[in-house]
Amino acid sequence: MADELELLRRANPVPADAPPHADGPLDRRAERHLHRLLHEQTISPPSRELRGSRSRRGVRLAWGLAATAVVAATALALLLGGPSTPHAVAAPRPLVVRADATPVPLDRLAERAEAAAEEGGPALRKGTHVRSWSLGMSDDAPPVTLPEERVVRWTADGRHTELVVATDPRHPGRPVLGEDEDGNPRQVEDGHVISDTTYPPSWSDAPPHSRPPHDADRLRAYLEEAGHTGSMDTSQLLDATGLLLDNWTLGARESAALVRLLADTGGLRPAGQVTDRLGRRGEAYVHDGTGLRRMLIVNPDTGAVLGLETTFTRAQPEYGVAAGDVMEYSAWTR
């Protein structure tokens, strides 16, 4: 019998000569990263660089829904601290769909959005403004929900700033769960600055940093490249939508293309009207996955995506998770 090392060698899950990681020239992404390392000497330390987008990226990583958007080291930011770890957390309730509202098919909404875009409407802008609630889990404490507001603004010289504060718009002025310098959750004042970072110039020409198209087919290709997926299913498209909106504030035409793409992809069931956590009226569209339900909230007049909520549909008691708990919610504003 072959010895144990030989058996293990044969069980190598990623052989040296197997694609896509076989030796060869660097791909575009690897070249870009090397270029960035060599020419952007002021690159930020990863902990700061990553923390700002932790709530979006980390959660997405955790659920493997669009893992490519993630830097794995963000995980540390979600680790809970020691004895002072807060346990009592006001986790958000899932949004309630109005029973008396007549659902609007997504196709219809796409038509409205296209009509609205023809009349003008807001323009595309790089950067984002998102409020999020995301569940952080650890091995030794119950899950906690971290409410954050993240604002990313780009300047003409290619720099961008990212400000992340701990805040919960449902309870203005009240202390919230934020995180300390080490990324451990703790109670902080409303508006506590988690990170305030200025990044050196970057002119990345790859999605999601390149300008998104305003045509549904081209937008699909763009999002597939951004999400590193092949042909996207509904769940992947929702992931990619989050990724897009975490980088861009869409204009009317891009919003119309996105809602058309969502309608054409299918898998989203019109559920009725909701009022989102920022008090905005929206149409809700639901996608049921295994153990998770995702609800997209869309402006009924313009087709602009207002929010995306992910909720557990099955209890997982040993993880401290009940059916109906919100895993993540993001609300985008201009």
Partner 1 sequence: MSDDEIFAAAYREHYWAVTRYVARRLAGHAGEVEEVVAEVFTVAWRRRAELPRAPLPWLYGVARNCLANAVRGQGRRRRLLARLGNDDAAHGRYVTSGPEAEPPGGWVHEALARLSAKDQEVLRLTAWEELGVDELAVALGCGSRAASMRLHRARARLRTEIARLGPAPAAPHRPRPATAVDATPAKEHGHG
24 or 83: CB nearest partner 1: 24
Q: How is 135-151 classified by DSSP, letter by letter?
A: EE--SSS--EEEEEEEE
Q: Which has the closest alpha carbon to 85: 148, 6, 141? A: 141
**Which of 16-24, 171-179, 272-280, 293-301 is the region at the interface with partner 1 (rule: CB under 8 A)?**
16-24
CB 82 within 8 A of CB 75: no
At closest approach, how far in Å is the CB of 253 from partner 1? 29
Residue 265: count other Cβ atoms within 10 Å of its Cβ: 19
Among residue numbers 215 through 234, which ones bind partner 1 (CB under 8 A)? 228
Give the separation between CA 122 and CA 109, rounded to whole angstroms.
17
Interaction between residue 322 and partner 1 (CB under 8 A): no
77 or 110: CB nearest partner 1: 77
Residue 40: count other Cβ atoms within 10 Å of its Cβ: 13
Interaction between residue 321 and partner 1 (CB under 8 A): yes
Interaction between residue 156 and partner 1 (CB under 8 A): no
121 or 289: CB nearest partner 1: 289
**Residue ranges in 183-333 assigned as alpha helix (H):** 216-227, 234-245, 252-265
Give the separation between CA 49 and CA 71, rounded to whole angstroms.
10
At closest approach, how far in Å is the CB of 155 from partner 1? 23
Interaction between residue 77 and partner 1 (CB under 8 A): yes
Interaction between residue 48 and partner 1 (CB under 8 A): no
Among residue numbers 250 through 289, which ones bind partner 1 (CB under 8 A)? 289
48, 52, 61, 155: which one contacts partner 1 (CB under 8 A)? 61
48, 72, 193, 266: which one contacts partner 1 (CB under 8 A)? 72
13, 230, 279, 317: which one contacts partner 1 (CB under 8 A)? 13
Interaction between residue 123 and partner 1 (CB under 8 A): no
CA–CA distance from 174 to each of 40, 42, 55, 80, 133 (Å)? Answer: 40, 36, 20, 21, 16
Give the separation between CA 271 and CA 296, rounded to whole angstroms.
10
At closest approach, how far in Å is the CB of 194 from partner 1? 17
Interaction between residue 290 and partner 1 (CB under 8 A): yes
48, 68, 84, 266: which one contacts partner 1 (CB under 8 A)? 68
Interaction between residue 4 and partner 1 (CB under 8 A): yes
> At residue 199, what are phi and psi to the nearest 5 degrees?
-100, 145
138 or 210: CB nearest partner 1: 138
Interaction between residue 8 and partner 1 (CB under 8 A): yes
Q: Which has the closest alpha carbon to 244: 191, 302, 308? A: 308
Instruction: Look up residue 181 and give its DSSP letter.
Output: T
Residue 243: count other Cβ atoms within 10 Å of its Cβ: 22
Q: Which residues bind partner 1 (CB under 8 A)?
A: 1-18, 21-24, 26, 29-30, 33-34, 37-38, 43, 45-46, 61-79, 137-139, 228, 289-292, 314, 316, 319, 321
